[in-house]
């Protein structure tokens, strides 16, 4: 009596693989077998409590956010104030040297005020990037430094030619002997009057270049970084 026909094993006694086993493509969205490489452009499988990554155009993933830049406004203002004091004193000596004895007037150089403003703006430009409050403070300090330098230079000229300590030929009285800084603070009204008399309209335009230099430097650094 013949036996019923049975399916023979497929080579070496192994049964044929069933669909959906290892190495077979899985439907989209179904978990892949452990250790199987992911298809190109597909997001990695999530798990272990990590939030799902959001796919970006062209199959990429978002880059980590850049580290924030630190801003130290108080330190920037202190640096601007220190620069204004130093620049104002140096400009005083320069302004004194620009006095013409024969003409009795000062030679005006426009770019000096611009350089003063730029020097004062260095601190806010690098220490308070993007802070317009600090930029405006630097502009005001730059203008103040330029005016202080011219007043100090005028006071030194007055100390050299007026407050020399000699006898006044017109009154016969002995004049006071004062240094430039003493003339500036003790005779501030006289210093201001002489400074105004020796100034021309162009000088006020040159002084306006100091805040322009400070703002220009700050915005220039802001665009580059």
Neighbours of 72 (CB within 10 A): 15
For the chain, what percent of residues have pLDDT higher than 90? 48
- Asked if residue 123 has pLDDT above 70, the reply is yes
Q: Which residue has better confidence, 23 or 168?
A: 168
Q: Quick one: pLDDT at residue 109?
A: 82
- Asked if residue 140 has pLDDT above 90, the reply is yes
CB-based contact 131:124 (threshold 8 Å): yes
The answer to whether the predicted template modeling score (pTM) of the entire model surpasses 0.75 is: no
* CA distances for 126 relative to 19, 105, 112, 156, 211, angstroms: 65, 38, 22, 35, 17
Q: 27 falls in which pLDDT band (50, 70, 90)?
A: low
- Asked if residue 61 has pLDDT above 90, the reply is no
CB-based contact 117:214 (threshold 8 Å): yes
- Asked if residue 1 has pLDDT above 50, the reply is no
pLDDT digits (tens, 9 = 90+) for 164-210: 877 665 566 676 788 999 999 999 999 999 999 988 888 899 999 99
Q: Quick one: pLDDT at residue 136?
A: 96
Sequence-ordered list of residues with C-beta below 8 angstroms from that of 35, at least 6 positions apart, any chain: none
Question: Is the Cα dihedral 52, 53, 55, 60 positive or negative?
Answer: negative
Q: How far apart are CA 128 and CA 130, in angstroms?
A: 6
Comparing 26-35, 116-125, 149-158, 183-192, the range with the smallest average pLDDT is 26-35
Q: Average pLDDT over the chain, rounded to whole?
A: 78
Comparing 35-44, 145-154, 199-208, the range with the smallest average pLDDT is 35-44
């Amino acid at each position: 009596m013949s036996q019923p026909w049975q399916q023979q094993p497929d080579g070496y006694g192994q049964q044929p693989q069933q669909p959906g086993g290892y190495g077979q493509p899985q439907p989209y969205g179904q978990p892949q077998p452990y250790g199987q490489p992911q298809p190109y452009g597909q997001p990695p499988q999530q798990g272990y409590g990590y939030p799902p990554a959001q796919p970006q155009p062209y199959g990429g993933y978002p880059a980590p956010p850049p580290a924030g830049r630190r801003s130290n406004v108080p330190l920037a203002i202190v640096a601007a104030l220190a620069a204004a004091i130093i620049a104002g004193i140096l400009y005083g000596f320069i302004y004194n040297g620009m006095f013409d004895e024969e003409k009795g007037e000062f030679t005006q150089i426009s770019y000096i005020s611009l350089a003063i403003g730029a020097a004062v703006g260095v601190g806010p430009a690098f220490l308070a990037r993007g802070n317009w409050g600090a930029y405006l403070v630097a502009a005001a300090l730059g203008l103040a430094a330029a005016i202080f330098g011219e007043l100090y230079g005028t006071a030194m000229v007055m100390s050299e030619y007026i407050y020399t300590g000699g006898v006044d030929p017109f009154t016969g009285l002995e004049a006071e002997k004062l240094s430039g800084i003493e003339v500036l603070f003790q005779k501030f009204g006289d210093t201001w009057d002489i400074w105004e008399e020796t100034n021309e309209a162009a000088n006020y335009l040159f002084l306006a270049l100091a805040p322009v230099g400070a703002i220009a430097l700050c915005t220039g650094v802001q665009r580059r970084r």
